[in-house]
Amino acid sequence: MAVFTVRDGALQILLVQRGQEPYLGRWALPGGFVLPRESAGVAARRELAEETGLAADTVAGLHLEQLRTYSDPDRDPRMRVVSVAYTALVPDLPEPRGGGDAAHARWVPQGRWEPLAFDHDRILADARTRVGAKLEYTSLATEFCPPEFTLGELRRVYETVWGTSLDPANFRRKVLATPGFVAPVPGAARLTGGRGKPAALYRAGTATAPHPPLLRPEGRPA
């Protein structure tokens, strides 16, 4: 799994430190083997819970999405292993702890990891590209936010993932222009973030895609 979050103004990825050979001590993406009666998606969720120690109901609520399958015959030195990679976008979660095959688990900010075990650098790069692109034409950005969030928080997700800054006024209008992208929380107290005017709270809506797409500024959809 390539599990992404936005924390402290940076895109971060969940890594585990390997507790066994091969690649003992190296950092890697969390993952494991599929059991005989499991689908890959079920296995992904189980392994994520085991290796990170996150609460069962936390993991159950995560949005997991299949990325792609890596099947090069030599990608694991022990034997032939075919891996089905998944991507998850999660809100700022409690700190994970190691477990299972993983000695430790932690969030690492974008670009701050040494080379990973196996072909996980490649998988992570693929996942990173996909996440950037998905924000343009889906409503997945809300997955990075807690259940209730302000439009400023949502905008910061886009800015962090894309590495750009967006005009707050225009961003707000684009988001609100797609019915069902976000829904105002009815009688909600407005949230005061320390400074500035308190912001209205929204929940993720039912729409899966903004229309028109929220294209990156000056950007080819890389």
Partner DNA sequence: GCAAAAGTGTTAAACTTACACCCATGA
Partner DNA sequence: TCATGGGTGTAAGTTTAACACTTTTGC
Residues that bind DNA (CB under 7 A): 150-153, 167-170, 172-174, 177, 190, 192-200, 212, 215, 217
Q: Which residues are bridge partners to 83 per DSSP?
A: 70
Residues contributing to the site for a copy of itself (CB under 8 A): 34, 36-41, 66, 68-69, 71-73, 80, 82, 84, 137, 209, 211-213, 215, 220-221
CB burial readout 32-42, b (16+ within 10 A) else e: bebeeeeeeee
Q: Provide the minimum distance between the beta carbon of 94 and a copy of itself in the complex, in angstroms, as a whole number.
A: 30
**Angle ∠(145,10,14) on CA atoms, nearest 5:** 75
**Angle ∠(51,54,71) on CA atoms, nearest 5:** 40
- What does 82 bind: a copy of itself, DNA, none (CB cut-off 5 to 8 Å by kind)? a copy of itself
Q: Provide the minimum distance between the beta carbon of 184 and DNA in the complex, in angstroms, as a whole number.
A: 9
Q: Provide the minimum distance between the beta carbon of 82 and a copy of itself in the complex, in angstroms, as a whole number.
A: 7
- What does 20 bind: a copy of itself, DNA, none (CB cut-off 5 to 8 Å by kind)? none
Q: Tell me whether residue 79 or residue 169 sits nearer to DNA (CB atom).
A: 169
Q: Provide the minimum distance between the beta carbon of 219 and a copy of itself in the complex, in angstroms, as a whole number.
A: 8
Contact call for residues 161 and 132 (beta carbons, < 8 A)? yes
- What does 66 bind: DNA, a copy of itself, none (CB cut-off 5 to 8 Å by kind)? a copy of itself
Q: Provide the minimum distance between the beta carbon of 40 and a copy of itself in the complex, in angstroms, as a whole number.
A: 4
Contact call for residues 5 and 15 (beta carbons, < 8 A)? no
Q: Provide the minimum distance between the beta carbon of 74 and a copy of itself in the complex, in angstroms, as a whole number.
A: 9
- What does 198 bind: DNA, a copy of itself, none (CB cut-off 5 to 8 Å by kind)? DNA
Cα–Cα distances in Å, from 134 out to 6, 112, 114?
15, 23, 26
- What does 72 bind: a copy of itself, DNA, none (CB cut-off 5 to 8 Å by kind)? a copy of itself
**Angle ∠(198,199,204) on CA atoms, nearest 5:** 155
Of the candidates 86, 43, 46, the residue with the CA atom closest to the CA atom of residue 68: 86
Q: Tell me whether residue 41 or residue 53 sits nearer to a copy of itself (CB atom).
A: 41
Q: Tell me whether residue 192 or residue 208 sits nearer to a copy of itself (CB atom).
A: 208
The two structure tokens encoding residue 73: 């015959």
CA atoms within 13 A of residue 100's CA, in its CB half-sphere? 16
